[in-house]
């Protein structure tokens, strides 16, 4: 956390702040990234977030959805959100254009253990749009590269056309002490990387289990399998963190919509240490 964030008063979690869409980028047919700017300069100054936190994004008169913040925590005056159009609210948001306004409540939840992971190697494992919550963490590490060891980024998609952030992966790959490993479940004519599920990449990656922190995000069944395989390689659950998704409404532990076992994912998560959440990971109906 930087000094400015340490002295900023907390945001009121009940108040929706208008934000204007400054840029819109079509990542894939059903996925857009918006760059937002909070309209009120005082709120813009006050707004601070950590990698892995999320906002409740409100389409006025339609509905509110939980969306990870993917932008740089060092530049909180611009908020980037990558949104997959899946239903009623995201459908309306996805049709918005620069100049339109959305509402923002946040930031919410607990982010990645950036302080605790200092000095360690980092292993990032993501699937599909699951890479969105770790983008901020990766950028954070690159701006403080001397504080972290080797970084391996493993990312899997269903099909080659599902790969988002292509230029970001290329840029990350060019950094020293960084390896990027991509895989697709399905092959493709222009796909030059591995074909298969993301956990198949583990065999290619060298890491010291006592000196590595894992940050995982994606389908829960993938994270369950991945954590099992990484345990077999000697990684203990207290060094593995996952980011979870649940239906959300209040964002602050009041309504119970996001309950998973004894936890409210909005305030105890979305990033959780594996040993706390393992009994419930990948199980439906809880």
286 closest CA partner among 255, 244, 254, 258: 258
Binding-site size, ligand FES (CB under 6 A): 12
Of the pair 132, 150, the CB lying nearest ligand FAD is at: 132
Phi, psi of 123 (to 5 degrees): -120, 115
Q: Which does 254 bind (CB under 5 to 8 A by kind): ligand FAD, ligand FES, none?
A: ligand FES
Residues in contact with 140: Cβ distance below 8 Å, sequence separation at least 6, in sequence order: 51, 72, 73, 74, 114
Q: How far apart are CA 38 and CA 87, in angstroms?
A: 25
Q: How far apart are CA 244 and CA 266, in angstroms?
A: 9
Of the pair 104, 150, the CB lying nearest ligand FAD is at: 104
User: Are the CB atoms for 148 and 122 separated by under 8 Å?
Assistant: yes
Of the pair 63, 209, the CB lying nearest ligand FAD is at: 63
Q: Which does 54 bind (CB under 5 to 8 A by kind): ligand FES, ligand FAD, none?
A: ligand FAD
In the region spanning residues 164 to 223, those forming contacts with ligand FAD, defined by CB under 6 A, are none
Q: How far apart are CA 50 and CA 52, in angstroms?
A: 6
Q: Which of 26, 60, 75, 87 binds ligand FAD (CB under 6 A)?
A: 87
User: Are the CB atoms for 106 and 55 separated by under 8 Å?
Assistant: yes
Per-residue mark of binding to ligand FES, 194-233 (x: CB under 6 A): ----------------------------------------
Q: How near is the Cβ of 248 to ligand FES at its closest, in Å?
A: 4
Asked whether position 25 contacts ligand FAD by CB under 6 A, the answer is no
């Amino acid at each position: 956390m930087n000094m400015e964030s340490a002295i900023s008063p907390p945001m009121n979690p009940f108040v929706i702040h208008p934000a204007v869409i400054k840029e819109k980028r079509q990542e894939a047919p059903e996925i857009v990234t918006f760059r937002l700017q909070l309209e009120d300069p005082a709120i813009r100054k006050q707004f601070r977030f950590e990698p892995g936190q999320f906002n409740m994004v409100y389409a006025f008169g339609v509905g509110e959805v939980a969306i990870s913040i993917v932008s740089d925590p060092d530049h909180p005056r611009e908020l980037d959100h990558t949104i997959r159009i899946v239903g009623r609210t995201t459908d309306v948001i996805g049709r918005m254009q620069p100049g339109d306004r959305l509402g923002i409540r946040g930031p919410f939840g607990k982010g990645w253990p950036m302080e605790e992971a200092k000095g360690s190697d980092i292993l990032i494992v993501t699937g599909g749009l699951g890479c969105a919550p770790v983008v901020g963490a990766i950028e954070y590490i690159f701006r403080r590269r001397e504080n972290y060891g080797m970084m391996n980024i493993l990312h899997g998609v269903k099909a080659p056309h599902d790969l988002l952030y292509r230029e970001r992966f290329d840029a990350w790959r060019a950094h020293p002490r960084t390896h990027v490993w991509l895989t697709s479940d399905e092959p493709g004519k222009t796909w030059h990387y591995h074909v298969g599920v993301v956990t198949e990449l583990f065999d290619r990656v060298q890491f010291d289990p006592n000196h590595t922190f894992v940050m995982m995000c994606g389908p829960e069944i993938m994270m369950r399998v991945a954590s099992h395989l990484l345990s077999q390689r000697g990684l203990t659950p207290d060094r593995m963190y996952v980011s979870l998704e649940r239906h959300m409404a209040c964002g602050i532990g009041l309504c119970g919509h996001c309950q998973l076992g004894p936890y409210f994912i909005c305030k105890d998560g979305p990033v959780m240490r594996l040993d706390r959440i393992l009994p419930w990971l990948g199980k439906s109906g809880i």
